[in-house]
Amino acid sequence: MSEAQRDVVRYSVIVPVGRRVDYLATLIAEYAEALGSIGAGFELIVVLDGPKRELLEALKSVAGSMPELRVIELARAFGESAALTAGFDAARGGILVTLPAYYQVDPAELPKLLAAAEGEDDLLIAVRWPRASTFLDRLRRGGFHALFKLVSGIEYRDLGCGVRLLKREVAAEIPLYGDQHRFLPALATKRGFRVREVELAQSPKDMFRGRYRLREYLHGVLDVLTIFFLVRFTKKPLRFFGTIGALAAGFGGVFVIVMVIQRAFFGVGLADRPALLLASLLVVLGVQTFALGLVGELIIFTHASDMKEYAVRSIIQGRNSKALQQESKEAAAGGQ
């Protein structure tokens, strides 16, 4: 790539580095090689989610010969959504690409994704196809996507893939927090952006070797429910709260009326009747059901664009060969 192409950055590629990492220095080199073949200016932004000394040292050595590379180290582990937001804030290109720090899509397929960006779509999400996986993984993935389609009404085939391409307007419009990065396509669809899936060849090295704990499955279900509320009820919360409240308060009210009639006309006492307590609780809970948690979620989502969930510890800028030669000359002149 020429110096003029480097100065005009069209693509900003963000690689968030969290707990799962596969041969990061090698993977970054493969990403850079694939991106270099497109003939357009690009930059590689690696965001370390928390202090990772060994990875930082390895990336320092890579940055010495890769001027397109920048490394951002966050002060502590804030989560992948915050790492992506840090990368978006530091990006200079008009088109943003997110890539995982481990093998998912064959790096040689990246030019195909970038070529698809020439259309009118605002967000492209990669689908690993053909997909090689175990039966248990297919079962887990199928159940997750079926639940997501049930609660959101939107169908996707590979929400777990971290390879995405989006216009800067999408990143500016949709604030990410918590684990919402996984559901960026659904949030973009809700805002009216055009979203399309692009089939890319799966990397032969893409094989998850760990195990998902019960807590992670629970977190996944809760995240899907959060998206359900954000997609359907962010601006119409009374349609949800009103329905639940009306049902609970209605049942409670009916029970109360029945017991009052029994007391007034049939001489049935109200004392020592658990049903009276249950009916009263239904009336009260009908008003308060999910109110605190969901209202808090809605407030956070509404104001998330005004909040920053990360703090930068350091930034490493890759240097080209001319800069290194100039520094060597200056050092030699200073030693004379």
Half-sphere exposure of 244 (CA within 13 A, CB side): 13
For residue 27, what pLDDT is reported? 95
Q: How far is CA 322 from CA 5, 64, 152, 179, in A?
A: 16, 11, 53, 41
Q: Enumerate residue ranges in the chain where pLDDT < 50.
A: 2, 4-5
pLDDT at 247 (0 to 100): 84
Which helix (H) or strand (E) element contains residue 164?
Answer: strand 164-167
Per-residue pLDDT tens over the stretch 209-247: 656 677 777 878 888 888 887 777 766 666 677 677 778
pLDDT of residue 235: 62
Cβ-count burial 25-58 (b if 16+ within 10 Å, e if not)? eebbbbbbebbeeeebbbbbbbbbbbebeebbeb
CATH architecture, domain 8-233+314-323: Alpha-Beta Complex (3.90)
CA distance 77 to 267: 65
Rounded to an integer, what is the distance from CA 42 to the centroid of its chain? 22
Eight-state DSSP code of residue 289: T
**pLDDT for residue 238:** 61
CA gap 219, 328 in Å, rounded: 52
> What's residue 202's pLDDT?
94
Smallest CA-to-CA distance from 196 within 116, 100, 129 is with 116
CB 143 within 8 A of CB 136: no
What pLDDT shows up at residue 11? 96
For residue 335, the model assigns a pLDDT of 56
Nearest to 88 by CA among 173, 168, 194: 168
Collapsing DSSP to helix, strand or coil, 106 comes out as coil
Q: What is the pLDDT of residue 46?
A: 96
Per-residue pLDDT, 124: 97
Q: Check residue 191 and give its pLDDT.
A: 85
- What pTM value is reported for the model? 0.76
pLDDT in tens, 166-210: 999 999 989 888 788 989 999 899 888 999 999 999 999 887 665
The number of residues in the chain equals: 336
